[in-house]
Amino acid sequence: MTADLNALPARQRILLTAHDLFYQEGIRATGIDRIIKESGVTKVTFYRHFPSKNDLITAFLAYRHQQWLAWFSTALARHVAQTGGLLAALAPCLAEWFDDPRFRGCAFINTAVELADLLPESLHIAGQHKRQMADELARHLPAGPQREQHAAMLAMLIDGAIVRVQIERQPQAALQVLNAALGMLAQGGFDQ
């Protein structure tokens, strides 16, 4: 554990440790004992803050949502300003994330696949995250009756690119396909 992590309150140390382990290694593969050890807390302290692993998973997803959406909102706005439009901004925005050596796909897709039967509320949380991602995309689209539908289409393309990068470990290949799809949308009169 780093000195910076040691200085944090116990709940935050547990959450940040769980975040890194859950995202990098998977939720089911990460046991509570490992989180306790790596966060430097006692079992009593852990269970005082998180009475169950499910409570910790829910907190992890809330934290991840907040962190990722803040990054996405900022990065997307920056790339839209640089490129002049949403369609041109998506691939370079996602490339930032895909090129991060810690990239392990979407935590919400991963959790939904991993825990759908064991923690059904994870599907609801993942759905909320995806809706808010689409809302962020919609902010960069012109107002109109197709705004939400267009944002949902783009969100689905993004999810497909995320999964492809996670499976193939080839960001450039996924980004090329994404750019081709976005180009087809632009030629078809997709409003941005």
pTM (2 d.p.) = 0.92
What confidence tens digit (pLDDT) does each residue in 69-120 have? Answer: 999 999 999 999 999 999 999 999 999 999 999 999 999 999 999 998 889 9
What confidence tens digit (pLDDT) does each residue in 121-150 have? Answer: 999 999 999 999 999 999 999 999 999 999
Q: How many CA atoms lie within 13 A of 81 on its CB side?
A: 6
The whole-angstrom separation of Cα 173 and Cα 178 is: 9
The whole-angstrom separation of Cα 72 and Cα 102 is: 16
**pLDDT for res 76:** 98
**pLDDT for res 2:** 53
pLDDT at residue 1 is higher than 70: no
CA distances from 146 to 29, 30, 72 (A): 42, 42, 22
**Three-state DSSP string of 124-179:** HHHHHHHHHHHHHHHCCCCCCCCHHHHHHHHHHHHHHHHHHHHHHCCHHHHHHHHH
Q: In percent, how much of the chain has pLDDT > 70?
A: 97
The whole-angstrom separation of Cα 48 and Cα 35 is: 14
